[in-house]
Amino acid sequence: MSTYDARLKRMTDAAALSEPDRVPISPVLQCYPVFHAGYSMKDVLYDFDKGAESFKKFAREYEPDAMFGQAYINIGAGPLFELMRPKTLVWAGAPGATISDDSIHQFIEFPVLLEEDMPYFSRDYSGWLVGKGFPAVSGLLEPMQGLGLSRMGPMMDISMLAAAFSTPGMRETIETLWKIADMKQDLNAKSAKLDDELEEAGFPVLHKGMAMVPFDNYSDFYRGTIDTMMDLYENPDVITDFCKVQLEYVFDMIRAQGQFLKGKWVFMALHKGMDTFLSDEHYRKLYWSDLQRIIEEIINQGMTPYIYTEGKYDSRLDCLKEVTKGKVVYHFEQCDMVRAKKVLGDVACISGGFPVYLLDYGTKQQVIDECKRLIDGCAAGGGYIFETGHGFDHSKPENVEAMFETVKTYGKR
């Protein structure tokens, strides 16, 4: 069996609740490979090759069982972002950036959908999106402000549409969109090449697909966290109607991915489902009901749902049980992992839970002890992948080495 096949078998066996030859290790990567290679985040955002070199060096040096995280730090995307001029994102090296050159990108949340626009939003989503939503989140798309395409109708004089798209601002926007499309295609090709090179070197790249819970979409990109929590009581119908429509879009996206990602893993970050954001009632009604259906649709399409729970998730474990056995991987940032194993162990694979602060500030012995504690509490019988609770950045190399060495030796069957 090749090294690649052995690593892949560990990961897939664990996901299917079987016990592999040892506990697989696939830590959540963030900026650490970049810093470990001697680069800044600004360097890799504006030079894809430096980012690719960083992750290949990490793989060679630490030999994880799968590579996870290189697709999510936007290597090479700096020039693309500059053309897009997003108002919801700041990145290292951005003109006038308010973060350091070593920072991971930061999302800026604000209410894009205003309460006074909700009747228009509910009545004509596409019209609102084009005329108000797009201009609110991108400086590039500001010329679309007030563009009333939905008022024209299918029997319009084509010259009206031509006029709407031929203002000086729209001409510049359209030309820039063409540039963005070309740059994005080139960046996608480079990313695919990096994945191929990692796999050829023996490291599976499993996380290929993506999906999102409609409630997260509403809260993250339309209303913001604070206003969403108020809408639970003041505008519940708007949330319900939005989620119902968006769920169908999510299904379409999953089915499209299922055409070319059979056997791959679909990454879903759960942003607003944590213990402290929603009551049990709201979680079941507005969050879990959709998440459960999304999970099952991913399974139906021949892919593996990889559910990345953010924040504390101790109170949600009983819900997470309600899925098809041996088909789901749940990652936890903050959770009682031993209890998670007891509740979910006969249904789904669990991963995560290792506290990153130990890699940053702990001693080597503290790292070793915590690795052993998690393996003792979670590995028996299979269905466990060792992962850090979240991505790590300025960690001590000796602690990262101790983590890998402990899992690979102590985690043997």
- The per-residue pLDDT for range 324-378, each reduced to its tens digit, is 999 999 999 999 999 999 999 999 999 999 999 999 999 999 999 999 999 999 9
pLDDT, residue 339, reads 97
Q: Is the pLDDT of residue 250 over 70?
A: yes
Pair of tokens at residue 353: 């839970």
- Model pLDDT, residue 155: 62
Per-residue pLDDT band at 11 (split at 50, 70, 90) = very high
Helix H or strand E encompassing 208: strand 207-210
pLDDT at 326: 97
- Other residues' Cβ atoms within 10 Å of the Cβ of residue 390: 19
What pLDDT does residue 261 have? 94
Identify whether the C-beta of residue 410 lies closer than 8 Å to the C-beta of residue 375: yes
pLDDT category of residue 91 using cuts at 50, 70 and 90: very high
- How far apart CA 335 and CA 317 sit, in angstroms, is 10
Tell whether the model's pLDDT for residue 60 goes beyond 70: yes
d(CA 275, CA 273): 7
| 157 has pLDDT over 90 | no
pLDDT of 291 above 90: yes
Q: Helix %, strand %, coil % for the chain, to 5?
A: 55, 10, 35
Q: What is the DSSP letter of 48?
A: H
Q: Is the pLDDT of residue 5 over 70?
A: yes
Longest pairwise C-alpha distance within the chain? 74
Q: Is the pLDDT of residue 251 over 70?
A: yes
**What integer is the mean pLDDT of 266-286?**
95
Taking a C-beta distance cutoff of 8 angstroms, is the pair 7, 204 a contact?
Answer: yes
The pLDDT of 384-397, averaged and rounded, is: 96
For residue 24, is it left (φ>0), alpha (ψ between -120 and 50) or beta? Answer: beta
Evaluate if residue 1 carries a pLDDT over 90.
Answer: no
pLDDT at 148: 75
pLDDT band at 160 (very low <50, low <70, confident <90, very high): confident
pLDDT in tens, 92-137: 999 998 999 999 999 999 999 999 999 999 999 989 999 999 999 9
pLDDT tens digits for 224-238?
Answer: 999 999 999 999 999
Alpha-carbon span 93 to 78, nearest angstrom: 7
What pLDDT, on a 0 to 100 scale, did the predictor assign at position 119? 94
Mean pLDDT confidence for 316-324? 97
Residue 154 has pLDDT above 90, yes or no: no
End-to-end CA distance of the chain: 18
The per-residue pLDDT for 41 is 97
Kindly state the percentage of the chain with pLDDT values over 70: 99
Question: Percentage of the chain with pLDDT > 90?
Answer: 92
Q: Which domains does the chain carry?
A: 1-27+203-413 (3.20.20.210)
Question: Over the chain, what is the mean pLDDT?
Answer: 95
Label residue 156 by pLDDT band (50, 70, 90): low
Residue 151 has pLDDT above 80, yes or no: no
Residue 153 has pLDDT above 70, yes or no: no
